[in-house]
Structure 1
Amino acid sequence: MPHFVMECSQDVFEQYGEVDVITDIHRIAMDSGLFNEADIKVRVRPFSTGLVGGTDAPFIHVFAWIMDGRSTGQKAALSRAMVRLLSQRYPNVANIAMNVSEFEKASYCNRRMLG
């Protein structure tokens, strides 16, 4: 926890490499001060086709799933920092967004928690 998944059109990697962008996403998550580095997971899902507003256009959307307990302000600052970075890396991609969803701590379980 947390999980960051960037969905994007495949063509965005013509401008900036996939490994570079996952490293940047990880750094923004670390710089937020909200997470332990060992807990951050980052993945990318490129799509060969997609429509934005009915047309074939490049897009990036980062989905973040984090443990509950952060303030709305903290989550908004994380989204703004991520969109700012991606906008700098991909100046030709007009459709860049991020949203943050929360896991409920009471119902979350992972393998380490099983003992």
Structure 2
Amino acid sequence: MSERTTPTWPQRIGYIFGRTLPASMSEWVRKDLTGPGAARRYLMRFLIPVIPPLMLFLLIPGPKWMGVAMMALLYLPLIYFTVALMYVYRRSRLIKHGLDPALADADSRRRSEAARLDYERRHGRA
């Protein structure tokens, strides 16, 4: 029997909470952290689960705008820091799974290399 290459639901939930998956799932982890939709998945994993606890602010007596304002005071910085730390998180997860941390910014390096080559082609350096 061959080893699984994709996680089961319990493994996937553990992975979302920070557990390391077996080495046989390294390709799945690489695609999850660096493939298409990686940023969207990362943001959803951090930003959606905190909404229900924040909704408890709506139960505080007083005008509803006050509960919404208290939610915003916590949620807006969370969005900012989640986006700001995306690169650090992805590198950390790649290292934890034994993958090359340079994969975290491979896409941006590829884009900058294409832009550099285009610049050199247009200005006669290639």
TM-score over 0.5 for the pair: no
By relative contact order (CA 8 Å, sep 6+), the higher-ranking structure is 1
TM-score using structure 1 length:
0.30
Higher strand share: 1
Higher helix share: 2
Pick the structure with greater CA Rg.
2
